[in-house]
Amino acid sequence: MTRRVLVLIHFLFWLFKLGETYYFYELKYFEWHPLYFAKLFMLFGFTMAFSYLNYFVLVPVLLFKKRYFLYVIGVLTTAFAHFWILPWAWGGYSSDYVWPSEMAIRASAFATFQHFSVATLGRFMHYWWISEQTKRKLRQELRTAELQYLKSQVSPHFLFNTLNNIYGLSMRGAKQTPRAIQDLHDMMSYMKGIQEQSQVSLATEIAHIQNYARLHELRGQQRMEFSFNTQEAPDGISIPPALMQPFVENAFKHGDDELPIEVSLEVDKAEVNFRVVNGLKPSRKKDGVGGIGIQNVERRLSLLFPKKFDFEYGPEGKQFVVNLKFPVL
């Protein structure tokens, strides 16, 4: 709610109250007279002043801070001033235009109660709206900060594993070293870019996974058989960055070298289906890095697609299987 909207609501409320006062009360007891209208607007000004005294001072300074006794004293003092001003303001011009004192007191009491109640309720509603907006903004900021933190945690895993692979190549004097360095450059450029992006094209993500797998296949003499079955990525499909790669990384790090890694990806205009199957060594448990990687992805999924994704992983016989379904952006 903008300031202009709030001012418009206040203006329309007081315009309605002015019309209500004239048509439903004063018109029944008074004939038209210029002094009457002058006094009507003067008294209405006093009513607005007392109402906004409650709205801007008594409620936020006393009631919101739980100074209930002082708030009651403030309300009673303001109500007494209202009772005193109304009969005084009407008197002194013509007896034809003076309310009987009993009627004046009753009308003043009702008006005071009504306007103070509306002012208090309005202030509470305004306070609630501001609180909700502040909470919503904080939740969004926390969500953005957490996503940035979770994405940044992937970078050390990539860097550590890839540098180890390139180091092994250079020690053997392998001809693939220049290509591996170029692949590392492309990978680091990708990781730098996703820190500032909330989404990447599916084609970019697929190329990144293939790039990582190619680097990992260059390690040592023992190599895992790796297959990546995927259809051509449709144009215009975007997904969150670095969401699937941690599972491929875990397959290389913790999988059985004698069993293949099978990765498949299917996508349509609404959903991505991603699956990773790798051999599982019974004697080899995941270390903290691998566990954190899966936890990070699961946390990111819950933040990005609350109750809109399917994520299952665990051992199935001698294999470790990951099934992930999530909507496209």
Judge whether residue 310 has pLDDT over 90.
Answer: yes
Q: Considering only residues 57 and 149, tell me which one the structure prediction assigns the higher pLDDT.
A: 57
Q: Does 146 fall in a domain?
A: no
Q: What is the pLDDT of residue 287?
A: 40
How buried is 216 (Cβ within 10 angstroms: 0-12 exposed, 13-18 middle, 19+ buried)?
A: buried
Same domain, 197 and 255: yes
Going across the sheet that includes 261-267, the strands are 226-230, 261-267, 271-279, 319-327, 310-316
Q: What is the pLDDT of residue 62?
A: 87
Question: Of 81, 115, 140, which one is at a domain's C-terminal end?
Answer: 140
Same domain, 206 and 120: no
Judge whether residue 98 has pLDDT over 80.
Answer: no
Q: Does 147 fall in a domain?
A: no
Same domain, 61 and 91: yes
pLDDT per residue over 178-226, tens digit each? 888 888 888 778 877 777 777 888 888 888 888 888 877 766 545 668 8
Q: Does 225 fall in a domain?
A: yes
Q: What is the pLDDT of residue 222?
A: 52
Judge whether residue 286 has pLDDT over 50.
Answer: no
How buried is 131 (Cβ within 10 angstroms: 0-12 exposed, 13-18 middle, 19+ buried)?
A: exposed
Same domain, 120 and 160: no
- Other CB atoms within a 10 A radius of the CB of residue 123 amount to 19
Q: Considering only residues 222 and 43, tell me which one the structure prediction assigns the higher pLDDT.
A: 43
Secondary structure class of 312 (helix, strand, coil):
strand
Judge whether residue 95 has pLDDT over 50.
Answer: no
Q: Does 238 fall in a domain?
A: yes
- C-alpha distances out from residue 274 to 143, 198, 225, 277, Å: 25, 20, 19, 10
Same domain, 110 and 233: no
Same domain, 320 and 213: yes
Question: Of 107, 140, 173, which one is at a domain's C-terminal end?
Answer: 140
Same domain, 314 and 220: yes
Q: Sorting pLDDT into bands at 50, 70 and 90, what band is 111?
A: low
Please give the average per-residue pLDDT across 229-255, as a whole number. 83
Question: Of 102, 117, 140, which one is at a domain's C-terminal end?
Answer: 140
Q: What is the pLDDT of residue 123?
A: 85
Q: Does 145 fall in a domain?
A: no
- Other CB atoms within a 10 A radius of the CB of residue 255 amount to 22
Share of the chain above pLDDT 90, in %: 7
Q: What is the pLDDT of residue 158?
A: 59
Q: Which residues contact 317 (CB under 8 A, 6 or more apart)?
A: none
Secondary structure class of 272 (helix, strand, coil):
strand
Same domain, 200 and 299: yes
Same domain, 98 and 170: no
Same domain, 242 and 116: no
Please give the average per-residue pLDDT across 297-311, as a whole number. 86
Q: Does 232 fall in a domain?
A: yes
Please give the average per-residue pLDDT across 238-255, as a whole number. 85
Q: Does 148 fall in a domain?
A: no
Q: Does 29 fall in a domain?
A: yes
User: Running DSSP on this structure, what letter comes out for residue 280?
Assistant: B
Q: What is the pLDDT of residue 231?
A: 77
Same domain, 117 and 162: no
> For the chain, what is the domain count?
2
Share of the chain above pLDDT 70, in %: 73
233 near 201, Cβ under 8 Å? yes
The alpha carbon of residue 16 and the mean position of all alpha carbons in its chain are separated, in whole angstroms, by 37
Same domain, 91 and 193: no
Judge whether residue 66 has pLDDT over 80.
Answer: yes
Bridge pairing between strands 261-267 and 226-230: parallel
Domain that holds residue 51: 3-140
Q: What is the pLDDT of residue 65?
A: 86
Where residue 245 sits, what CATH number does that domain have?
Answer: 3.30.565.10
